[in-house]
Structure 1
Amino acid sequence: MSIQEFVLFLISVVAGVVGQFFLKSGALKLGQLTASNAISHVIGIATTPELVIGLCFYAGAAVLYILLLTRVPLSILAPSVALQYVFSVMLGRFVFNEPIPIVRLVGVALIICGVVLLMAKK
């Protein structure tokens, strides 16, 4: 992966994580889904600014990913996007104060090791 491709990859990952942040923020505004509020929740998705922003960031990340697929092997790119999981766990902990059990930390460490191995030169 060239420097240009790596920068595009990082931008794609960051856009995905920012999208996660806005989707979580918007979902918290909607409240919990029940059978009686399902229709209002669907309408709320289209009218909650955070959710619309989050979906736009996801769309941007998808466009960058598609552009990267023209230059980077799928066997490297697709698993590398798992870094979004790592940053999402950190976002959950430090922004939304979600607990991170030790098992999840081990999983995050394994993801990081896997991505490093995938991106390593032969």
Structure 2
Amino acid sequence: MSFASILLLLASVSASVGGQFFLKQGALQLGEIDSSNVGMAIVGMLSKWQIWVGLTCYGLGVITYILLLNKVNLSVASPLLATSYIFAVLLGVFFFKESVSIAQYIGIGMIFCGAILLSQGKPG
């Protein structure tokens, strides 16, 4: 992968993880949502700047991903983008104090190994 492709991948992953971070912040400000207040919660989402920043990050992530797909195969780009799940879990742990089980840590390792294996060179 070229240096430009690596930068696009990093930008796409960063934007995706940033989107998840801000959407989570916005979701926490909505309070408890159930069937009786889901309509008001949706309206409330529109007033949270964190939701808008999260959606903007996702939009930028899509743009950079499309640019990346112009340079590399989908079979390489998609597994590497999956590393955003690893960073999302780490965000949950460090910023939102979420607990992660040993099984989830094993899953993170499997995602990492799978992304590396799937992104390796051309088939023989």
| Superposition TM-score tier, normalisation by shorter sequence | over 0.9
CA distance in 2, matches of 1:4, 1:23: 28
CA distance in 2, matches of 1:26, 1:92: 14
- Shift of the alpha carbon at 1:121? 3.4
Q: CA RMSD in A?
A: 1.1
12-21 or 74-83, larger mean C-alpha shift: 74-83
CA distance in 2, matches of 1:79, 1:113: 10
Is 1:104 equivalent to 2:104 in the alignment? Answer: yes
Is 1:51 equivalent to 2:57 in the alignment? Answer: no
Matched residue, 2:12? 12
Matched residue, 1:73? 73
* Aligned-residue identity in percent: 42
Letter in 2 for 1:34: D
CA distance in 1, matches of 2:7, 2:115: 15
CA distance in 1, matches of 2:29, 2:120: 42
- Shift of the alpha carbon at 1:82? 0.8
- Shift of the alpha carbon at 1:81? 1.1
Q: Which residues of structure 1 form unaligned runs of 5+?
A: none
- Shift of the alpha carbon at 1:118? 2.5
Q: Tell me which protein shows more helix as a share of its residues.
A: 1
Q: Which residues of structure 2 form unaligned runs of 5+?
A: none
- The 4+ residue runs of structure 1 with deviation greater than 6 A are none
Count residues with an aligned counterpart.
122
Matched residue, 2:35? 35
94-103 or 31-40, larger mean C-alpha shift: 31-40
Matched residue, 2:60? 60
CA distance in 1, matches of 2:8, 2:75: 17
Q: Return the TM-score normalized by structure 2.
A: 0.93
